[in-house]
Amino acid sequence: MASSRSLTDWNAMGAMVLDRFDFILRMRIRGTPAVIGAVFLGTLTLSLLLFLFLGDGRVGRILFFPAQASRRLIAEQRFLPRRGSIEKDVVELAEGVLLGPTRHDALRVFPRGGSVIAAMVSGRTLYLDLSPQLLADDPEVPLKGQDALNALDHSLKFNFPRFQEVVFLIDGQSPRFAEKKKI
Protein backbone atom coordinates (compact mmCIF):
# COMPACT_ATOMS: atom_id res chain seq x y z
CA MET A 1 0.00 0.00 0.00
CA ALA A 2 1.48 3.35 -1.06
CA SER A 3 0.28 5.27 1.99
CA SER A 4 2.10 2.95 4.42
CA ARG A 5 5.54 3.93 3.10
CA SER A 6 7.51 6.21 5.31
CA LEU A 7 8.89 9.57 4.31
CA THR A 8 12.43 8.19 4.22
CA ASP A 9 11.34 5.58 1.65
CA TRP A 10 9.94 8.33 -0.58
CA ASN A 11 13.12 10.39 -0.18
CA ALA A 12 15.24 7.36 -1.06
CA MET A 13 13.22 6.80 -4.22
CA GLY A 14 13.59 10.47 -5.18
CA ALA A 15 17.34 10.36 -4.61
CA MET A 16 17.60 7.25 -6.78
CA VAL A 17 15.79 9.03 -9.63
CA LEU A 18 18.05 12.07 -9.29
CA ASP A 19 21.12 9.82 -9.35
CA ARG A 20 19.99 8.50 -12.71
CA PHE A 21 19.93 12.05 -14.09
CA ASP A 22 23.37 12.79 -12.64
CA PHE A 23 24.91 12.09 -16.05
CA ILE A 24 23.63 15.47 -17.21
CA LEU A 25 25.87 17.22 -14.70
CA ARG A 26 28.89 15.15 -15.74
CA MET A 27 28.53 15.77 -19.48
CA ARG A 28 31.12 17.95 -21.08
CA ILE A 29 30.25 18.82 -24.62
CA ARG A 30 32.28 21.26 -26.62
CA GLY A 31 31.68 22.74 -30.02
CA THR A 32 28.67 22.42 -32.30
CA PRO A 33 26.55 19.98 -30.24
CA ALA A 34 26.63 22.38 -27.28
CA VAL A 35 25.44 25.28 -29.46
CA ILE A 36 22.64 23.16 -30.93
CA GLY A 37 21.58 22.07 -27.44
CA ALA A 38 21.62 25.66 -26.17
CA VAL A 39 19.53 26.86 -29.13
CA PHE A 40 17.06 24.01 -28.57
CA LEU A 41 16.71 24.78 -24.85
CA GLY A 42 16.37 28.50 -25.57
CA THR A 43 13.65 27.86 -28.14
CA LEU A 44 11.85 25.51 -25.78
CA THR A 45 11.99 28.07 -22.96
CA LEU A 46 10.77 30.89 -25.22
CA SER A 47 7.85 28.85 -26.56
CA LEU A 48 6.85 27.81 -23.05
CA LEU A 49 6.91 31.42 -21.84
CA LEU A 50 4.87 32.61 -24.84
CA PHE A 51 2.31 29.87 -24.23
CA LEU A 52 2.04 30.74 -20.54
CA PHE A 53 1.60 34.48 -21.14
CA LEU A 54 -0.39 34.49 -24.39
CA GLY A 55 -2.23 31.19 -24.18
CA ASP A 56 -3.18 29.12 -27.18
CA GLY A 57 -5.77 31.59 -28.47
CA ARG A 58 -8.68 29.21 -28.00
CA VAL A 59 -11.52 29.22 -25.52
CA GLY A 60 -13.88 26.42 -24.61
CA ARG A 61 -17.48 27.13 -25.57
CA ILE A 62 -20.62 25.08 -25.00
CA LEU A 63 -22.99 24.81 -27.98
CA PHE A 64 -26.51 23.39 -27.69
CA PHE A 65 -28.22 21.23 -30.31
CA PRO A 66 -31.49 19.28 -30.37
CA ALA A 67 -31.17 15.64 -29.36
CA GLN A 68 -32.01 12.98 -31.89
CA ALA A 69 -34.09 10.89 -29.50
CA SER A 70 -35.97 13.64 -27.65
CA ARG A 71 -36.98 17.28 -27.91
CA ARG A 72 -34.44 18.53 -25.38
CA LEU A 73 -31.17 20.32 -26.13
CA ILE A 74 -27.85 18.57 -25.55
CA ALA A 75 -24.51 20.25 -24.99
CA GLU A 76 -21.35 19.96 -27.03
CA GLN A 77 -18.03 21.54 -26.11
CA ARG A 78 -15.84 23.10 -28.78
CA PHE A 79 -12.65 25.06 -28.59
CA LEU A 80 -13.14 28.16 -30.71
CA PRO A 81 -10.49 30.77 -31.51
CA ARG A 82 -10.55 34.09 -29.68
CA ARG A 83 -11.09 36.94 -32.09
CA GLY A 84 -10.26 39.96 -29.93
CA SER A 85 -13.68 41.61 -29.67
CA ILE A 86 -17.00 40.49 -28.22
CA GLU A 87 -18.78 40.86 -31.58
CA LYS A 88 -16.25 38.67 -33.38
CA ASP A 89 -16.40 36.06 -30.60
CA VAL A 90 -20.21 36.03 -30.83
CA VAL A 91 -20.04 35.59 -34.62
CA GLU A 92 -17.58 32.71 -34.18
CA LEU A 93 -19.92 30.97 -31.72
CA ALA A 94 -23.02 31.56 -33.85
CA GLU A 95 -21.22 30.21 -36.94
CA GLY A 96 -20.33 27.12 -34.89
CA VAL A 97 -24.02 26.56 -34.10
CA LEU A 98 -24.93 27.13 -37.77
CA LEU A 99 -22.37 24.53 -38.88
CA GLY A 100 -24.14 21.90 -36.80
CA PRO A 101 -23.09 19.33 -34.23
CA THR A 102 -20.16 16.94 -34.30
CA ARG A 103 -21.96 14.50 -32.00
CA HIS A 104 -23.75 11.63 -33.69
CA ASP A 105 -26.74 11.86 -31.33
CA ALA A 106 -27.51 15.53 -32.07
CA LEU A 107 -29.28 17.25 -34.95
CA ARG A 108 -28.76 20.55 -36.73
CA VAL A 109 -30.47 23.70 -35.46
CA PHE A 110 -30.67 25.43 -38.85
CA PRO A 111 -30.59 24.31 -42.50
CA ARG A 112 -27.28 24.29 -44.35
CA GLY A 113 -26.10 27.40 -46.17
CA GLY A 114 -26.99 30.06 -43.63
CA SER A 115 -24.56 32.55 -42.16
CA VAL A 116 -24.21 35.43 -39.76
CA ILE A 117 -24.36 38.76 -41.57
CA ALA A 118 -23.49 41.04 -38.65
CA ALA A 119 -23.34 41.28 -34.87
CA MET A 120 -23.58 44.39 -32.72
CA VAL A 121 -23.47 44.85 -28.96
CA SER A 122 -25.22 47.76 -27.29
CA GLY A 123 -24.98 47.67 -23.52
CA ARG A 124 -26.35 44.31 -22.42
CA THR A 125 -28.21 43.68 -25.69
CA LEU A 126 -26.85 41.67 -28.61
CA TYR A 127 -28.19 42.28 -32.11
CA LEU A 128 -27.50 39.38 -34.47
CA ASP A 129 -28.36 39.64 -38.17
CA LEU A 130 -28.73 36.26 -39.90
CA SER A 131 -29.15 35.29 -43.53
CA PRO A 132 -32.65 34.33 -44.80
CA GLN A 133 -31.48 30.82 -45.79
CA LEU A 134 -31.76 29.89 -42.10
CA LEU A 135 -35.55 29.94 -42.32
CA ALA A 136 -35.77 27.57 -45.29
CA ASP A 137 -37.74 24.38 -44.71
CA ASP A 138 -35.43 21.38 -44.24
CA PRO A 139 -36.50 17.86 -43.21
CA GLU A 140 -33.16 17.30 -41.39
CA VAL A 141 -33.90 20.15 -38.98
CA PRO A 142 -36.38 19.38 -36.16
CA LEU A 143 -36.63 22.95 -34.86
CA LYS A 144 -38.39 25.55 -36.97
CA GLY A 145 -38.64 29.33 -36.76
CA GLN A 146 -38.69 30.74 -33.25
CA ASP A 147 -37.71 27.39 -31.68
CA ALA A 148 -34.47 27.34 -33.69
CA LEU A 149 -33.72 30.95 -32.71
CA ASN A 150 -34.39 30.04 -29.05
CA ALA A 151 -31.78 27.25 -29.29
CA LEU A 152 -29.22 29.71 -30.68
CA ASP A 153 -30.25 32.20 -27.98
CA HIS A 154 -29.57 29.52 -25.33
CA SER A 155 -26.03 28.91 -26.66
CA LEU A 156 -25.27 32.63 -26.83
CA LYS A 157 -26.54 33.47 -23.35
CA PHE A 158 -24.84 30.44 -21.80
CA ASN A 159 -21.43 31.43 -23.19
CA PHE A 160 -21.89 35.19 -22.85
CA PRO A 161 -23.90 35.71 -19.65
CA ARG A 162 -23.47 39.48 -19.90
CA PHE A 163 -26.29 39.59 -22.48
CA GLN A 164 -29.74 40.06 -21.02
CA GLU A 165 -31.39 40.15 -24.41
CA VAL A 166 -30.56 38.81 -27.87
CA VAL A 167 -32.39 40.46 -30.77
CA PHE A 168 -32.40 38.40 -33.95
CA LEU A 169 -32.76 40.00 -37.37
CA ILE A 170 -33.21 38.13 -40.63
CA ASP A 171 -31.62 40.07 -43.47
CA GLY A 172 -31.99 43.25 -41.41
CA GLN A 173 -35.67 42.73 -40.59
CA SER A 174 -37.34 41.49 -37.43
CA PRO A 175 -38.54 37.92 -38.10
CA ARG A 176 -42.27 37.24 -38.02
CA PHE A 177 -43.47 33.70 -37.45
CA ALA A 178 -46.98 32.33 -37.70
CA GLU A 179 -48.63 31.86 -34.34
CA LYS A 180 -49.08 28.26 -33.21
CA LYS A 181 -52.69 27.33 -32.91
CA LYS A 182 -53.74 26.23 -29.45
CA ILE A 183 -56.30 23.48 -29.43
pLDDT in tens, the chain (183 residues): 455 666 566 666 666 655 665 555 555 555 566 677 778 888 888 888 887 777 667 788 888 888 888 878 888 898 888 877 889 999 999 999 898 888 888 888 888 888 899 999 999 999 999 998 888 887 888 888 888 889 899 999 999 999 999 999 888 888 877 665 555
Contacts of 132 (CB under 8 A, 6+ apart): 170, 171
Instruction: Say how many Å lie between the first and final Cα of the chain, rounded.
Output: 68
Quote the DSSP letter at residue 31.
S
Q: Tell me the β-bridge partners of 16.
A: none
Helix axes of 86-99 and 146-159: crossing angle, nearest 10 degrees: 130
pTM value is 0.66
Q: Report yes or no: 160 and 86 within 8 Å, Cβ to Cβ.
A: yes
Contacts of 80 (CB under 8 A, 6+ apart): 58, 59, 61, 89, 92, 93, 96
